[in-house]
Copies of this chain bind each other. A is one copy, B any other.
C-alpha cells in the first residue's frame, strides 16, 4: 500500500496557535508530537511502500523539519505551489504512484485528524485495501456515536460486498439536528471521514470521467524514475501544471459522482478536530468539563473551559464554556459555542493587514 497524507491545509480555526506557517497539522495540539507526525507514525507499522506527504510551498520547510527524524522511512514531501483543494493533490499523488505501478493501492489520509485506537485504524485500512482491490473507490465511514451536525454523512446500502464494504447510496451534507438524529437511529449512516482507499488506476479513470481538465493536465506530467529525490525532480513540472488547475474537492469532484463508491465501516475513535471545541471530545476533561492543554491552571468555580496557556499560569474565576488560548503575541477568549467563528478573527486580521498575527 502507498500512503498519501494530505498536509496542505491552512486551517484558521485554531488561531492563535495555528498560523499561516504552522497550521493545525503542524501544531502540537496535544503536547508532544504534531498531528502530522502522529499521522505518519500511525501508518509506519503497515510498512507502506511509500509515504507521500502533499503539502504547500509555505509549509514545506516546517513539514520537512518535522519529519526529519523519520528520514530512514520512504517519505516523499511534495509541495504544491498553490493550494487547489484535494482533487488535484490526490490526482498528482496517484499519477506519481501510477508511473511505477498502476495497480497499486493508495490510501488518502488527512494529516490533521485525531485517531484514538491505532491498531483498529490500521486493521480498517487493510480491510479497505482489500475492498479497493475489487476496483471500487472505498471511503472510510465512521460509525456515529452521537447526532453530530458538524460532519457530512454517507448512507450505505444493506448488503456488504466480498470485502465487507457497502455500496454508497449517497453523500449527505452536514445535517440539521433532526436529520442527524434520524441518521443515528437508522444505523446505515456513517460520518464522512475524508479517508479514502483505491487503486491508482481506478481513481485516475474516475478523474478522466468527472474531472477531464484535471486528468488532462495530470497526463501531461512526465514522471521520471525515482532516483532519490523525486519531489525536486518533479517540482518544475508541478509548478507549471498547478497554475492552470481549478480548485476542486475530491468529494464534489469525484466521490459524489462516481458509481463505484463503497464504504468500509470504521470505529476507532475519530475526530477531525475541526475547531478548538472538538478538543475536549478527544482529551480527558476534569470533573467540571475543563481541559487544560498547556500551562499551569487555577480554577475557581469555572466549568466547560478549554485552556491553552503555553507556559503561563491561567486563572479562571467563575467562567463557563470558554476557549482560552494564549500565545506569545496573541490571546483568544471565545465562547465555546462560537468556536467556528475563530476563522472570522483571522479574516479581520487579514483585512486590517495585521500580518504579524497570521
Within 8 A of B (CB), among A333-353: 333-335, 337-338, 341-342, 344-345, 348-349
In the assembled complex, 23 residue pairs joining A and B whose CB atoms fall closer than 8 Å, in A order, are: A16-B315, A300-B338, A301-B338, A309-B331, A312-B331, A313-B329, A313-B330, A313-B331, A314-B331, A315-B330, A315-B342, A316-B333, A317-B335, A317-B338, A317-B341, A317-B342, A317-B344, A318-B334, A318-B338, A319-B335, A324-B333, A326-B326, A331-B331
Closest to A324 in B: B333
Instruction: Give the complex CA separation of A354 and B315 in angstroms.
Output: 13
Q: A15-B315, A300-B348, A333-B333 are in contact. List 6 more A-B contacts (CB 8 A).
A: A16-B313, A312-B331, A313-B354, A315-B342, A317-B335, A317-B344
- State how many angstroms separate the Cβ of A294 from the closest Cβ of chain B: 12
> Which of B300, B348, B354, B357 is within 8 Å of A345, CB to CB?
B300
A40 on interface, CB distance cutoff 8 Å: no
A residues sitting closer than 8 Å to B (CB atoms) are: 15-16, 296, 298, 300-301, 309, 312-319, 322, 324, 326, 329-335, 337-338, 341-342, 344-345, 348-349, 354, 357
- State how many angstroms separate the Cβ of A320 from the closest Cβ of chain B: 8
A357 partner residues in chain B, CB cutoff 8 A: 313
Given A313-B354, A326-B326, A341-B317, are A298 and B348 neighbors across the interface (CB < 8 Å)?
Answer: yes
User: CB distance A331 to B354 under 8 Å?
Assistant: no
User: CB distance B319 to A333 under 8 Å?
Assistant: yes
- State how many angstroms separate the Cβ of A168 from the closest Cβ of chain B: 37
A338 partner residues in chain B, CB cutoff 8 A: 300-301, 317-318
User: Which of A331, A332, A344, A354 has the most chain B CB atoms closer than 10 A to its own CB?
Assistant: A331
Instruction: Give the complex CA separation of A317 and B342 in angstroms.
Output: 7
A334 partner residues in chain B, CB cutoff 8 A: 315-319
> Which of B296, B330, B342 is within 8 Å of A312, CB to CB?
B330
